[in-house]
Amino acid sequence: MDESEERFAVVVDKPRTEAVIAELEAEGVYDADRSVREFDEGSVSVPVTSIPESVEYIEVVRQVGEPRLRDLADHLRERGWTDEEIDLAPSSWAVLGTVVLVDVGDAPRPDEVGEALLALHGSADTVLSRGGISGAHREPDVTVLAGAGDTETVHREHGTVYAMDLAEVMFSPGNKAERARMGDVVAEGERVVDMFAGIGYFTLPMARAGAEVTAIERNPDSFRYLLENVQRNGVADRVQPYRADCRDVLARTDPATDVTADRVVMGYYEAHEYLDSALGALEPGGFVHMHEATPEGLVPDRPVGRLRDAAAERGRAVDVLDTRRVKGYSEGVAHVVVDARVD
């Protein structure tokens, strides 16, 4: 092997792979032309263009400079897929810690898609096929396509750490920008109610930004991870968690236990059904962020109208600050968020 074909890599603990790659990219030394590889049990080698100065690692090793198969199509083509079959392969997926989450759609031989995704993402050990979300507790339907089958993982995103079991709780990769944005809009010391906290999707970025968050979640599995994630992110002193129906928590009338807020987050597709509870807790001049799954032809009129009608019933006025399409929810239906000030 020609010495010039060798390159360096840093060895890191496998759970840190996502965070290390982000740090290497920030330093400008991540080598995207080579693959992350398994080094030994529990660690991987991450390719670098030069030895990093600001990133912690176990050791530096030489890594043969084989070019990375750049995308899923390359890996499937190597497995004998035709161009017509590759056209049916998924075009997007999410890497959440050590798990790849994908909707295989109409792709033939889903197990080969899973194996190809494992080859493409060396830090992952499990590929899950994503189905729908159902039930009052918003429970996911997933199937193991390839790998170890370990559905529990730790995902890092914009500095926030999320532990979860993807067979038990939902995690929407398409909401990434919205999660980060909520950490940007809150002020230190602001009182926030997160009515559908889940594992801490919005609670954690807001609490890390200094907000005082009342986090309400009724799914026991999600609540268990919410408690864990509050500890992992060091925000236990700023989060008051409740495992309950948010309407019950917000219906209290004892002044000693009343929950009031400067901001209410309603991260649920049918949030309009809970507007009376949200507005009852929101102080005059406070902000509400209402999520909804809305047919494209009714964006933004339907969610805005529902918010205005609910406020009018309480004699309150709404100033709509923004409406956003977060992502597609289903064919012809958008996931929309309405940001508003309510006087």
50 carries a ligand binding annotation: no
The residue extents of the domains of the chain are 3-64, 72-150, 170-342
Fold that domain 170-342 belongs to in CATH: Rossmann fold (3.40.50)
Residue 57 CA to residue 51 CA, distance in Å, equals: 10
Percent of the residues in the chain that have a pLDDT greater than 70, as a whole number: 94
- In tens, the pLDDT along 293-342 reads 999 999 999 999 999 999 999 999 999 999 999 999 889 999 999 999 99
**What average pLDDT is seen over the chain?**
91
In this prediction, residue 314 carries a pLDDT of 95
**What tokens appear for 286 in the block?**
């406070």
Residue 205's φ and ψ, nearest 5 degrees, are -60, -35
In this prediction, residue 38 carries a pLDDT of 81
Three-class HEC string of 140-162:
EEEEEEEECCCCEEEEEECCEEE
- Are 114 and 149 a contacting pair, CB within 8 Å? no
Residue 129 CA to residue 163 CA, distance in Å, equals: 19
- Sign of the CA dihedral with 272 first, then 274, 280, and 282 last: negative
Place of tokens 């509050």: 230
Percent of the residues in the chain that have a pLDDT greater than 90, as a whole number: 75
- In tens, the pLDDT along 238-255 reads 999 999 999 999 987 666
Residue pLDDT tens, the chain, 343 long = 333 456 889 999 988 888 899 899 999 999 887 878 888 888 888 999 999 999 999 999 887 655 555 789 999 998 999 999 999 999 999 999 999 999 999 999 999 999 999 988 888 999 999 987 766 666 788 999 999 999 999 999 999 999 999 999 999 988 999 999 999 999 999 999 999 999 999 999 999 999 999 999 999 999 999 999 999 999 999 999 999 999 999 987 666 667 899 999 999 999 999 999 999 999 999 999 999 999 999 999 999 999 999 999 999 999 999 999 999 988 999 999 999 999 9
Residue 104 neighbours by CB under 8 Å, 6+ apart: 90, 110, 113, 129, 145
In this prediction, residue 67 carries a pLDDT of 56
CATH 3.30.300.110 is right for the domain spanning 72-150: yes
In this prediction, residue 2 carries a pLDDT of 39
Q: Does residue 296 sit in helix, strand or coil?
A: helix
- Are 66 and 2 a contacting pair, CB within 8 Å? no
179 carries a ligand binding annotation: yes
- Are 206 and 192 a contacting pair, CB within 8 Å? yes
Residue 209 CA to residue 234 CA, distance in Å, equals: 12
Computed on alpha carbons and rounded to an integer, the radius of gyration of the chain in Å comes to: 23
**DSSP letter for each residue of 186-249:** --TT-EEEETT-TTTTTHHHHHHTT-EEEEE---HHHHHHHHHHHHHTT-GGGEEEE-S-HHHH
Residue 178 CA to residue 265 CA, distance in Å, equals: 11
266 forms bridges with which residues in the sheet?
290
**DSSP letter for each residue of 7-25:** EEEEEEEGGGHHHHHHHHH
CA atoms within 13 A on the CB side of 305: 6
In this prediction, residue 39 carries a pLDDT of 84
Element (H, E) at 78: helix 72-78
**What tokens appear for 85 in the block?**
């079959």
